[in-house]
Structure 1
Amino acid sequence: MSRRRLLAVTGGVVAVLAAAYVGGYVLTGQRLPADTTIAGVDVGGKSPDEAEAALTRGLAERVEEPIVATFEEQKFELDPEQAGLAVDVPASVRAAGGRSWDPRDMIALFAGGSDHDPQLRVDDTKLAAAVASVAETVDQPVVQAQITFPDAKPKARQPKPGNQVPQDEFAQTIRESWLTSEDPIRVPVAAVAPAVDRAGLERAMREIAQPAVSAPVTLKVGSSRADLPVTAYAPALSIVVRDGAMVPTIDAKDLAGPLTSSVTGIGRRAVDASFRFEGGRPVVVPSKAGIGLDPKTMAEQLVPVLTKTGDQRVITVEATTVQPDFTTQDAEALGIKERIGSFTTEYPHADYRNTNQAEAARRIDGTILKPGETFSFNETVGERTAANGFVSGFVINGGVFREELGGGVSQVATTAYNAAFFAGLDDVEHHPHAFYIDRYPVGREATIYYGSLDLRFRNPYKTGVVIRAWVDKSSPGSSGRMNVEIYGTKVYEVKSRQSKRYNFREPGTQYDDTPACVSQSPVTGFDIDIHRDFYQGGKRVKTEKDTAYYQAADRVICGKKPKSD
């Protein structure tokens, strides 16, 4: 064959292959490969428009089915739409086929395709909220080691490990499993170890706690000496975990009381300005300067000598005029004039509720928020311990009732949240209970757990606010009342409205044969939207929306699970 003829043949072959290649490219854009499925829906051999229609029909029911997640014997159901999940149908079809210069895609048109995962549109904020609602039930807060000093004697709280849902991992698992797996999703849980173990706690007892209360601390004030007895500083002392180690700390506020003439023979305590309430209006109670020992300085100086003995257990201090932290002028400058929000909730009689709610209310009462300041329930009330005046009662822990110190305090948080809600304060952090408790306003309630869940709200106004809180205690046959009022200068009239309940979740049954078991009736879970409307001059000027997610509460039966036949 001549060279010219060979070139002509070769050119012809190349032209045929090129035409076939271009034709293959065109065909890949006209129909999907044979036997192609998306999330199990057959779209093979269909045009892109036909494939989109088939995929929409094939997933119509499945996209509305709840996402089921499990942890041990608990089951959670998440509504895909509320969790921010939707199928991007056009993108799913493009990912399964479409025009391509890849020869393998051209061959697949005839040889057959494969199953493809759907492409999703995800609202990350909604998905995070749905994941957090499950985590709130599953998480078991770690209990850190701590030593307190009730009756001026060291009392240790043993550390306990906790667990925590890695929420980013859980969210990713939901993304990957939705519509691609028929099996329930297992909620991932990571163990959380206490920062200090039992051995570290025992060492702190020997090396810090016992020496700290072994003898008074001598105060040198000029030419005078006075003993600060252990009973004076022990209530302010605690040994806590900080940066992985146990360290002593003294609360200057709790120390301020003993630093008066009745204990040390030195000086007079400064008194902050405060508010009392007459006829629904706040009245400033003037401040008073003091003479004596500054509690902040004292707290700093005391800590280093608590483990010393003999002549080293001495600190030199100076008695000076002590100005109040909050003066009469400070109080008057805040412009607090009237009640701007209030709320009351009722509770059935229980001695532990009377005690715990009254103690929490006492600690909240009189709290002042300057413009821009944020209230923290946990910081204000402190840890719910026996040393802090709290007793054992029922709390929700892990989706079931358990008896712990501070039971009933969440009612104080719920009442404070609602008072702040209607006062128009900014909602910084609040957490509805894991399941709905019908004595609280639906969708407008708050649970707390020290070190884990907090209630926080911010004063957004140019004037200050002050919180008034008190309890009308219950008695046998009569309910108690938890009351919170917030005073400031009124800017808005605030109203609440709500959606219908939706996305219902049915409870299951748990058996518990541990001594901690509390039998529990089942409660249906649901979601509800709460709208907060702000009015000025009778006109609505803004609205805020919040969604409360309530998990189903299982029936809890105390005892071993019956064996299946």
Structure 2
Amino acid sequence: MIISSLSFLLFMFPPQIAENTMGVSNNDIILQNIEVDQYSLPYLDPLFLDEDKIHSLMDRLEKAIYKAPINAHISANGHIIPEKLGETLDRKQFQSLFREHFYSNTNSNFEVPKKPLYPKVDRGLLGEISTKQLGTYTTFFRKSNLERTHNIKLASEAINNYVLFPGEIFSFNEIVGERTKERGYKRAPVIVRGELAEDIGGGICQVSSTLFNAVDLKGIQIVERYAHSRKVPYVPTGRDATVSWWGPDFVFKNMYNEPILIRSFSANGTMRVSVYSSDTAEYFTGSS
């Protein structure tokens, strides 16, 4: 769909109508020259542009155009799935074109310019950092507990294929997100103040604990970790990492000179996390 009355949509209709109308368009957006003329300051010389109005227009165009890039990732069968470029409004070029049309006598239209958004992880990088296994750890659970098994699978998928660059921090709560019914998590057994109870997201701590044991390496700095108030059955005493959305988090920092790749797998009562990097990965001490 080509939007030919953009300013009318943006400023004559309620905002939600304009956003929905623009959001369904997968084609280029064309701005007519007659619309450009409507962005002069009211009651003043038409040679002056209303900057606030232009920035508001750019914000709405950006919202309509924006498409997030997608990182390359490794499929369940071990194949590298290529990255996908995103796109957004090219604000600098748009302002240049807008002013050119505003101050000229041309009657031509112009296409709203876009620019690509590149993902952090492309297939080349992913191929390099998936060659050397730095660490791995496996835990086990009863797959007959369907709710807990489901929660473990969801959290495992959330951290799978995550790439942590040198010096970056990994926060389990930030990456996995809040464990809610709306996000697919179910009620399952959890430990609360030393007592066994049921809550949304029960079983998540097995994922964070498995992850902790996999990343407990010389090149990984553990920033934040808390133990359960009672022993858990899936890891040895003192080797657990409890997490909750409004409470403890599990946080670590990549101290290697190369990015690390986290691969996580959960099926048939087995939870496994492996950490990979390139052949040139070394622990960076910060000294020359």
TM over 0.5: yes
The TM-score by the shorter chain falls in which range? 0.5 to 0.7
Deviations 1:349-398 (A, max 9, x none): 30111110111011111111101111111001111111121111111111
Counterpart-to-counterpart distance in 2, 1:484 and 1:350: 21
Partner of 2:120: 326
- Which residue of structure 2 lines up, in the alignment, with residue 488 of structure 1? 277
In the TM superposition, 1:533-548 aligns within 5 A as none
Match among 71, 82, 95 for residue 286 of structure 1: 82
The whole-number CA distance in structure 1 between the counterparts of 2:226 and 2:179 is 18
Shift of 1:270: 3.3
| CA positional deviation for 1:429 | 1.3
Q: Is the 8 A contact 1:342 1:422 kept in 2?
A: no
Equivalent residues in 2 for 1:395-406, closer than 5 Å: 395-406=190-201
Aligned length: 210
Distance change (3 Å), C-alpha of 1:226 and 1:359: same
Query: Structure 1 residues 414 and 431, CA, compared in 2 at 3 Å: closer, same or farther?
Result: same
Encode CA deviations 1:450-483: one digit per residue, 9 max, x unaligned: 121011111111011011112114xxxxxx1111
The amino acid of 1:428's aligned partner reads: V
Q: Is the 8 A contact 1:342 1:423 kept in 2?
A: no
Aligned to 1:41: none
Residues in 1 aligned to 2:264 and 2:188: alpha-carbon distance in whole angstroms: 21
AA partner of residue 383 (structure 1)? E
Structure 1 moving runs of 4+ over 6 Å: 490-493
1:304 match: none
1:320 is aligned with what amino acid? K
Task: Tell me what 1:439 maps to.
Answer: 234
Task: Report the Cα distance in structure 1 between the residues aligned to 2:23 and 2:200, rounded to whole angstroms.
Answer: 35
TM-score, normalised on structure 1? 0.33
Superposition deviation, residue 415 in structure 1:
0.4
Task: Return the alpha-carbon distance in structure 1 between the equivalents of residues 154 and 77 of structure 2.
Answer: 23
Per-residue CA distance 1:516-555 (angstroms, 9 max, x = gap) = xxxxxxxxxxxxxxxxxx9xxxxxxxxxxxxxxxxxxxxx
Larger radius of gyration: 1
**Counterpart in the other structure of 1:519:** none
CA contact 2:129–2:261 (8 Å) conserved in 1:
no
Structure 1 CA distance, aligned partners of 2:128 and 2:114? Answer: 28
SS at match of 1:218: helix
Which one of 332, 342, 361 corresponds to residue 136 of structure 2? 342
445 and 332 in structure 1: CA distance in 2 versus 1, 3 angstrom threshold: closer
- More relative contact order in 1 or in 2 (CA 8 Å, sep 6+)? 2
Residue 222 (structure 2) pairs with residue 427 (structure 1): yes
Contact 1:363 1:380 in 2 (8 A): yes
- Structure 1 residue runs without a partner (length 5+): 1-214, 229-258, 295-317, 474-479, 494-533, 535-565
Does residue 1:274 correspond to 2:73, yes or no?
Answer: yes
Give the match's secondary structure for 1:383. Answer: coil
CA distance in 1, matches of 2:230, 2:139: 18
Residue pairs, 1:19-30, within 5 angstroms: none
Structural mapping, 1:143-542, within 5 Å: 217-219=16-18, 225-226=21-22, 270-276=69-75, 285-291=81-87, 320-328=114-122, 331=125, 335-348=129-142, 349-422=144-217, 424-473=219-268, 480-489=269-278
* Contact 1:425 1:459 survives alignment (8 Å): yes
Percent identity of paired positions between Structure 1 and Structure 2: 30
- Give the Cα–Cα distance (whole angstroms) in 2 for the partners of residues 351 and 423 of structure 1: 36
Describe the shift of the 1:482–1:329 C-alpha distance in structure 2 as closer, same or farther (beyond 3 A): closer
Q: Could you give the per-residue CA deviations for residues 17-64 of structure 1, whole angstroms, max 9, x where no partner exists?
A: xxxxxxxxxxxxxxxxxxxxxxxxxxxxxxxxxxxxxxxxxxxxxxxx
Distance 1:321 1:375 in 2: 29
The amino acid across from 1:458 in the alignment is K
Distance 1:423 1:466, change over 3 A: farther
1: CA distance between counterparts of 2:124 and 2:73?
10
Higher strand residue share: 1
TM-score by structure 2 length?
0.62
| Alpha-carbon distance change, 324 to 357 in structure 1, aligned in 2, over 3 angstroms | same
Q: For 1:447 and 1:267, locate their aligned partners in 2 and report how far apart those are by CA, in whole Å.
A: 37
Mark the CA change 1:440 to 1:333 in structure 2 (over 3 Å): closer, same or farther: closer
User: What is the SS of the residue equivalent to 1:217?
Assistant: helix
User: What amino acid does structure 2 have at the position aligned with 1:486?
Assistant: V
In 2, the alpha carbon distance for the partners of 1:227 and 1:441 equals 51
Q: 2:68, 2:117 within 8 Å by CA — same for their partners in 1?
A: no
SS of equivalent to 2:206 = helix
